[in-house]
Amino acid sequence: MLMTGAFVPSAVLLLAAIIRASASDTVAVLDLLTPDDVHGVDAPTAVILDVARELAGDGLDPAPELVQGEALRRGVYAGHHGDLARTRLADAVTARAEPAALWLYAANLAADLLRNRMIAAGESIAEHARNGAETDAWTGFVRDGRALRRLHDIVQQLRHHAGQEHAA
């Protein structure tokens, strides 16, 4: 069943575009917004993105049947987490996503990741400031700041490629 009118998570939309995109576009996008970046918000989708990225790195367009076959070969579908990964690929196959919007989907997901990381960093900094030593609070502040700057830069680069240059 096609996922029309239903809410499709941004990570699944990215995967849906990836499995319809060229190898070169897939590599370009997933070199900026890596499967490791996605892992924290949607681990099963990140596993499938990793398979797609490796296929694309070998010059193969990450078509659904190739991604499916490679995931099976690698044993990605073992256990409960594997069931979730299989479901994410099925969701991506049935989602309506255009490969022409690949950069936009990636930018939207990166912006979601940035916002989530900002919230988590704010909570962590406040907790350290209330209950920890100043040096621990400062170290966390600097570490989180670097991570946020990196994600912000990724959002900006992806939006530039998508033709949507505005601040996150």
d(CA 156, CA 71): 31
In this prediction, residue 3 carries a pLDDT of 43
In this prediction, residue 125 carries a pLDDT of 87
> Helix or strand or coil: residue 168?
coil
pTM of the model: 0.87
In this prediction, residue 111 carries a pLDDT of 95
Domains for the chain: give ranges and CATH numbers: 10-162 (1.10.860)
Radius of gyration of the chain (CA): 17
Spacing of C-alpha 136 from chain mean position: 30
Question: Are the C-beta atoms of 158 and 33 separated by less than 8 Å?
Answer: yes
Extract the residue ranges of the chain whose pLDDT is less than 50: 1-6, 167-168
Q: What's the start-to-end Cα distance of the chain, in Å?
A: 34
In this prediction, residue 165 carries a pLDDT of 54
